[in-house]
Amino acid sequence: MPENTDAAILDGVPPTTQDGTALPQDTRDKARSLWTDAWYDLRRNPVFYISSLVILFLVFISIWPGAIAHTDPLQCDLINSQNGPSGGHWFGFDQQGCDVYSRTVHGARNSVEVGLLSTVGVALLGSVLGGLAGYFGGWLDAILSRVSDIFFGIPILLGGVVFLSAFKGGSVSIVSTFIILLGWPQLARIARGAVITAKEQDYVLAAKALGAGHGRLLLRHIAPNALAPVIVWSTIALGTFISLEATLSFLGVGLKPPAVSWGIDISSASEQIRNAPHMLLFPAGALSITVLAFILLGDAVRDALDPKLR
Amino acid sequence: MTEPTPVTSREPILRVRGLVKHFPLTQGILFKKQVGAVKAVDGVSFDLYPGETLGIVGESGCGKSTVAKLLMNLEQATAGEVFYKGQDITKLSGRALKAVRRNIQMVFQDPYTSLNPRMTVGDIIGEPFDIHPEVAPKGDRRKRVQELLDVVGLNPEYINRYPHQFSGGQRQRIGIARGLALNPEIIICDEPVSALDVSVQAQVINLMEKLQDEFSLSYIFIAHDLSIVRHISDRVGVMYLGKMAEIGSDAAIYEHPTHPYTQALLSAVPVPDPEAREHRERIILSGDVPSPANPPSGCRFRTRCWKAQDRCAQEEPLLAIPARFAQATTPVAHESACHFAEEKDVVGAA
């Protein structure tokens, strides 16, 4: 490799990578960045595959619930009330005599919708506001930080009961709006911190010394280097937002019947937990697996994006 | 590219007058109240002549890097002027500032943080052309970037690589290529080699000297390594606690230092010759550098100076050629901010 050696000799170091291995992998080396490295790591992580499969399956059943659940979740017959699992109805029936399997499958859509909508909203609002506060500092930062302090001061469940009870028919969009409203300050803090760290780097000063404007500094230099913690936190938050939706529905202020949701089912099943534990077990299990899958995915992404672990 | 200007033409390209930077110390979160100021740079003046290298030395925290940032307009000066071709650049903004930036560029200290890890080398060196599109037409840029890589001794085929694939010395070459891209007249080097191995330092320094001849650049070379500064500089300024203590040609500073601080610094330079080492006098300064938030009255060096007298506490010494040396014909006649400036034989840097 003649081309490698001449520059290396100039610097008096043998042509090796940082970890000291020789440099034969020039082909794979072509255009590596943190993202390609992270993807390379993820593809070798079984946790990433398992959590991704669970999430893909969830997305699939929330788009086409009919593909695996053939009965209508709203077609109930009181004669079946609290019947346990059987060959024809694997998850049994609930209090109203509805098929728990069908309700669990159909409930995924609302949960996934709330989770995705709130996460996208929180990520956009939080990273834009937090990023601007961190970048410009001064009075903008002071105002945004104090506003987010105020939102931090509101206990999310109390806020949910007060805010959502004002809207009689709880729907996916109202619940998501509420979660975005109370969720963005947390992400804004993370984004603000990441931007402050990134903007003090020498390469940002170097770009400024070249005459780069705010737009270029933010989009080309700061945002790409501040994005990792935002992505990781969002992945983990998605799971907690889904469980928050279930919690609010359980309290009777989130989604409301006849909407089908894990939270509603958990709520109604909890009254009969001694007589018919299967009514609680299946929706609660689905919720736990979903939240776990998103948290594991976030964990895997965090490890992959952390260069110190490489 | 401008014609090479001989060093002898004594019209300065950059004139710095009374440069001051105070960082306010505030209390309170919402209603900020200023309770003091860190006087990082407190009245620094010097000239830079075309084609020369002005070294600025001093220990950590004396304000060297702040001077560099002020000259680049990366920090807003509290007071003072920086004249580039008769224009005070500390007052410029917007388009006029952007135009001046084409002519004054910077090489940073740490090659590991001064290159964006998410950009390829081609993007990093090509960015100056994106910001100043008039310098290179769009179709020409890739070729220009490859030329620049070649100029700094890197393989032009590395254009698609990322910074983490390079060693420290190679990264610093990338930083130099970025600084050269706009064909500047002045390059401010803020400790450009202090993060590199000694063997690599020499290569980078030699490259910078070669480029200076090739592109007739003027350097302001900030460092704490006295030997490197002597090697590359035509003139040297010594800073202490935000002020210039002594400034003069490298012969004046290294062979005829008259300021006690310079003498103390030089006496700490390692001497390779054991014979000479035994004969030289080590000046050990007592105490620490005072806080720049609360500097001593009068001469700033008086708290650590063995010559200090009452006058030093009351009257601030000005940076000027001391009266007793004004008639001297040797390099001892240079500006020194000391009431009791005198020559002292310290074994200089090798």
CB environment B138-164: b (16+ within 10 A), e (fewer): eeebeebbbebbebbbbbbebbebbbb
Residues in chain A: 310
**Looking at the predicted structure, is the pLDDT value of residue B172 above 70?**
yes
Contacts of B203 in chain A (CB under 8 A): 10-12
User: Inter-chain contact B127–A12, Cβ cutoff 8 Å?
Assistant: no
10 Å Cβ neighbour count for A191? 28
Q: What percent of chain A clears pLDDT 90, i.e. is strictly above it?
A: 15
Tokens of B58: 């001093």
Query: In this structure, are residues A269 and A91 in contact, taking their beta carbons and an 8 Å threshold?
Result: no
User: Phi/psi of residue B42, each to 5°?
Assistant: -135, 70
Q: What percent of chain A clears pLDDT 70, i.e. is strictly above it?
A: 85
User: Any alpha helices (H) in chain A, and if so which ranges?
Assistant: 2-11, 34-42, 46-63, 100-136, 138-152, 156-165, 172-199, 202-210, 214-216, 223-250, 262-270, 278-305
**What integer pLDDT is reported at residue B70 of this predicted model?**
92
**Looking at the predicted structure, is the pLDDT value of residue B277 above 80?**
no
**Looking at the predicted structure, is the pLDDT value of residue A43 above 70?**
yes
Long-range contacts of B141-147 (CB under 8 A, 24+ apart): B144/B181, B145/B121, B145/B177, B145/B181
The closest alpha carbon to B111, from B46, B20, B179, B18, belongs to B179
User: Any alpha helices (H) in chain B, and if so which ranges?
Assistant: 64-71, 94-101, 121-131, 141-151, 168-180, 198-215, 226-232, 250-255, 260-267, 274-279, 310-314
Q: At A204, is the secondary structure helix, strand, or coil?
A: helix
d(CA B348, CA B271): 8
- Using DSSP bridges, classify how beta strands B243-249 and B335-336 pair: parallel, antiparallel or unpaired: antiparallel
| Res. A10 pLDDT band, cuts 50 70 90 | very low
**What integer pLDDT is reported at residue B34 of this predicted model?**
81
CATH superfamily of B14-103+184-336: P-loop containing nucleotide triphosphate hydrolases (3.40.50.300)
Residues in chain B: 350
| Residue B289 C-alpha, separation from nearest chain A C-alpha, in angstroms | 26
The whole-angstrom distance between residue B185's C-alpha and the CA centroid of its chain comes to 15
Can you tell me the mean pLDDT for A152-163? 85
**Looking at the predicted structure, is the pLDDT value of residue B349 above 50?**
no
Q: What is the mean pLDDT of chain B?
A: 86
Q: Is the backbone peptide bond immediately before B290 cis, with ω within 30 degrees of 0?
A: no
Instruction: State the number of CA atoms in the 13 A half-sphere of B295 facing the CB.
Output: 21
Mutate to test the interface with B, among A9, A11, A16 (most CBs of B within 10 A): A11
User: Inter-chain contact B203–A12, Cβ cutoff 8 Å?
Assistant: yes
Lowest-pLDDT range of A5-9, A162-166, B5-9, B68-72: A5-9
**What integer pLDDT is reported at residue B346 of this predicted model?**
65
**What integer pLDDT is reported at residue B3 of this predicted model?**
42
Query: In this structure, are residues A263 and A160 in contact, taking their beta carbons and an 8 Å threshold?
Result: no
pTM over 0.90: no
Q: Which among A11, A30, A34 has CB closest to B160? A: A30
**Looking at the predicted structure, is the pLDDT value of residue B32 above 60?**
yes
**Which of A63-67, A261-265, B166-170 ranks highest by mean pLDDT?**
B166-170
**Looking at the predicted structure, is the pLDDT value of residue A226 above 70?**
yes
Interface predicted TM-score of the whole assembly (ipTM), two decimals: 0.84
User: Inter-chain contact B155–A3, Cβ cutoff 8 Å?
Assistant: yes
User: Which amino acid is present at A252?
Assistant: G
**What integer pLDDT is reported at residue B4 of this predicted model?**
44
| Res. A204 pLDDT band, cuts 50 70 90 | very high
Cα nearest neighbour of A200 on chain B: B113
- Using DSSP bridges, classify how beta strands B218-223 and B53-57 pair: parallel, antiparallel or unpaired: parallel
Tokens of A298: 């976030």
Lowest-pLDDT range of B21-35, B192-206, B242-256: B21-35
The closest alpha carbon to B191, from B179, B205, B174, belongs to B205
Can you tell me the mean pLDDT for A156-173? 82
Query: In this structure, are residues A211 and B104 in contact, taking their beta carbons and an 8 Å threshold?
Result: no
| Res. B105 pLDDT band, cuts 50 70 90 | very high
Q: What is the mean pLDDT of chain A?
A: 80
Q: Which residue did the predictor score with more confidence, A279 or A189?
A: A189
**Looking at the predicted structure, is the pLDDT value of residue A182 above 80?**
yes
| Res. A14 pLDDT band, cuts 50 70 90 | very low
Mutate to test the interface with B, among A13, A28, A36, A203 (most CBs of B within 10 A): A203
Tokens 């040396």 belong to which residue?
A: B325
- How far lies B90's CA from each of A61, A236, A271, B16, B179, in Å? 63, 47, 73, 10, 20
Strand partners, B247: B237, B335
Can you tell me the mean pLDDT for A277-301? 86
Residue B184: exposure state from Cβ atoms within 10 A (0-12, 13-18, ≥19):
buried
| Residue A223 C-alpha, separation from nearest chain B C-alpha, in angstroms | 10
| A51-309 fold | MetI-like fold (1.10.3720)
**Looking at the predicted structure, is the pLDDT value of residue A6 above 50?**
no
Q: What percent of chain B clears pLDDT 90, i.e. is strictly above it?
A: 29
Query: In this structure, are residues B250 and B233 in contact, taking their beta carbons and an 8 Å threshold?
Result: yes
Residue B107 is classified by DSSP as E
d(CA B326, CA B195): 40
Can you tell me the mean pLDDT for B208-233? 90
User: Which amino acid is present at B245?
Assistant: A
**What integer pLDDT is reported at residue A32 of this predicted model?**
54
**What integer pLDDT is reported at residue A264 of this predicted model?**
81
d(CA B292, CA B307): 22
| Res. A308 pLDDT band, cuts 50 70 90 | low
**Looking at the predicted structure, is the pLDDT value of residue B347 above 50?**
yes
**Looking at the predicted structure, is the pLDDT value of residue A157 above 90?**
no
Cα nearest neighbour of B207 on chain A: A10
Q: Which among A13, A208, A209 has CB closest to B167? A: A13
| Residue B127 C-alpha, separation from nearest chain A C-alpha, in angstroms | 8
Torsion of CA A47, A53, A57, A63, to 10 degrees: 100
| Chain B interface includes A18 (CB < 8 A) | yes
Helix (H) / strand (E) containing A93:
none
Contacts of A146 in chain B (CB under 8 A): 30
Can you tell me the mean pLDDT for B330-349? 77
Residue B323 is classified by DSSP as G
Tokens 């006690």 belong to which residue?
A: B260
Would you list the domain boundaries of chain B?
A: 14-103+184-336
Torsion of CA B198, B200, B201, B204, to 10 degrees: 170
